[in-house]
Amino acid sequence: MKPVPMLLALAASLALTGCDDKPAVLSLDPIVTDQETIFDTALLGVWGATDGKDIGIFRRGDGATYAVTYASDGGSRQFEARLFRVGDARFLDLAPEVNDSFMIPGHALVRVWIEGDTFRWTFVDSQWFIEQAGRQLPGRMLGEKKMLLTAPGADIRNFLASYGADDSAHGQIEEWRKVQ
């Protein structure tokens, strides 16, 4: 498939899968390899947003992956997540479960903190982060506020070593509590 039709297909899939506001940065390729994926049993279970609106269910997936169900406003979505570490920071490579040949799953970067019964998370996608990535990584803007990274996962991880743990790299941190 040529790059322009492929990008159009990706843009259409993002629009159809409901990614209107978040995340604003997606990678075309997985960000982490199987060998770099870590597994933390503390993430397993049912987590609820402190405002009571959203819920996340983390189950063990294949190998060291997590099968994630996110429920909000009466609907739910399925994801595969891979936990990895860059320096002292931990991230999830989060991609939707897609069984449609016409949809290309984008990989979102999620910064995570797990402390006892508290799970804090945020997308790594601030305007500052997008500007830094635009200068150093191959990618394309999709509209004014979304970026598709086309760099290999290793290049994105190296970039995260410099910029991903910076507080400027993300917006508001969500705090969830363990329900089960």
Structure tokens given for 171: 């917006």
Question: Would you say residue 72 lies in a domain?
Answer: no
For the cut 90, the answer to whether the pLDDT of residue 140 exceeds it is yes
For the cut 60, the answer to whether the pLDDT of residue 13 exceeds it is no
The mean pLDDT value for 21-43 works out to: 91
Q: What pTM was estimated for this model as a whole?
A: 0.84
**What local confidence, expressed as pLDDT, does residue 43 receive?**
97
Question: Would you say residue 21 lies in a domain?
Answer: yes
Residue range(s) defining the domain that contains residue 134: 3-37+82-173
Domain count, the chain: 1
Question: Would you say residue 74 lies in a domain?
Answer: no
Question: Would you say residue 138 lies in a domain?
Answer: yes
The residue among 157, 130, 149 whose CA lies nearest residue 37 is: 157
Task: Indicate the pairing of strand 146-149 with strand 25-27.
Answer: parallel
Query: CA–CA separation, 47 vs 28, rounded Å?
Result: 28
Question: Would you say residue 68 lies in a domain?
Answer: no
Query: CA–CA separation, 161 vs 159, rounded Å?
Result: 5
Question: Would you say residue 71 lies in a domain?
Answer: no
**What local confidence, expressed as pLDDT, does residue 51 receive?**
87
Question: Would you say residue 53 lies in a domain?
Answer: no
Question: Would you say residue 164 lies in a domain?
Answer: yes
Partners of 58 in beta bridges: 45, 68
Question: pLDDT digit string (tens) for 45-84?
Answer: 999 998 889 999 999 999 999 999 999 988 999 999 999 9
